[in-house]
Structure 1
Amino acid sequence: MKNIAHHYFAYGSNMNLMQMQQRCLNPKVLGIARLPGYRVEFYGYSAIWDGGQETVVTDLDSEVWGVLYELQFSDREQLDFYVDARFDGTGQYFHYPLDVIDSEQRAIDAVIYKKDKGGEETSPSAEYLSFIIQGAKEQGLPEGYIALLQNRITKPAAYAVPLVRKSKFSYMNISCGDCGE
């Protein structure tokens, strides 16, 4: 059986290559890309980062920059676990297919993780937004877009973040003795 690769467009914390390498066995960076007609907003609450979680919302006058990855099916399943994307619709995010524009101005079929429920906008923690910006800089996103991220309103986390998730799949380097199996 042939492995089928999927294109995944990361616009949040998964722009950090080190995090992606801890979450997936073989994430392949294809380069930076942009998603026209959307902007990044923060909704809900992440206990891991003590603040809002990113998603994209329609805005015809904006564009979202991020990283285009090629993932094998097993990596995509693993990533679904981390971002809490479930096929039964009970997770924090769902798969959202769309076209992104790569550096050669080609439209590429990709999937993003999008929040199912918006509700009220919630500020991200300063630490979380800093982590997202670190990934944006690491991947070489345009300076103007990074400046937009840097100008977002944040709040300081009330505790040390990221909060380590006790799981055998945790990306925070927990030993097997912490798996709780």
Structure 2
Amino acid sequence: MTDKRYYIAYGSNLNVPQMRMRCPHATILGTANLKGWELLFKGSKTGSYLTIEECEDGTIPVVIWEVTALDEAALDRYEGFPHFYYKRDIKLQYKGIRTGKRRTVTAFAYIMHEERPIGIPTNFYMRTCLEGYTTFHFNKNILIDAYNKCLEVCGYEE
């Protein structure tokens, strides 16, 4: 049994400098499209953050990281596991950053408890996520659409 696991990042953990600080032993393996899921901003009194929820026609760009047990413990603390986010194993195929080869793995994602209310993230959090989208050449409209959808739900005009 290895102490390394695969982790699906879709929000602020796409930000490589931030992940390097939090999880110094983590390695970027590749990118994938998580089909059947959508992004939403949800939260609590401390703020709104990204989560994923199943959605038949949704697709989210993600990064697959290989993490050690220590990295996973740091992520658990950061994500407020198990009270704020829970973990779910998801099988998906990623494309290797270095090799370009496709590989199917089971990786864990943090998912915010569904009863949390839709909310609006801070500009800082949004910028952090956008930097990750830029790094991996992801379509920023996916993130912006999630933001606009949450604005609408919260009753804000675009």
Relative to the length of structure 2, the TM-score reads 0.81
Q: 2:118 aligns with which of 111, 121, 127?
A: 121
How many residues align? The count is: 144
Distance 2:67 2:89 in 1: 15
Which structure: greater strand fraction?
2
Question: 1:30: which partner in 2?
Answer: 29
Larger Rg: 1
Cα contact 1:34–1:65 (8 A) shared by 2: yes
1:36: how far off? 0.6
Aligned-residue identity in percent: 24
1:123: how far off? 1.7
In structure 1, give the amino acid aligned to 2:111. Answer: K
Distance 1:118 1:55 in 2: 12
Unaligned runs of 5+ in 1: 156-181
Report Cα offsets for 1:56-77 as digits up to 9, x if no partner.
Answer: 1111101111110000111111
Question: 1:5: which partner in 2?
Answer: 4
**RMSD of aligned C-alpha atoms?**
2.0
Unaligned runs of 5+ in 2: 96-100, 152-158
Cα contact 1:32–1:140 (8 A) shared by 2: no
Distance 2:11 2:61 in 1: 10
1:107: how far off? 2.9
Q: 1:115 to 1:148 in 2, by over 3 A?
A: same
Distance 2:133 2:45 in 1: 20
Please give the residue correspondences for 1:1-181 in structure 2 after superposition, counting only pairs within 5 Å.
3-45=2-44, 47=46, 51-86=47-82, 91-103=83-95, 104-141=101-138, 145-151=139-145, 152-153=147-148
Relative to the length of structure 1, the TM-score reads 0.72
Report Cα offsets for 1:153-176 as digits up to 9, x if no partner.
Answer: 378xxxxxxxxxxxxxxxxxxxxx
Distance 2:29 2:67 in 1: 10
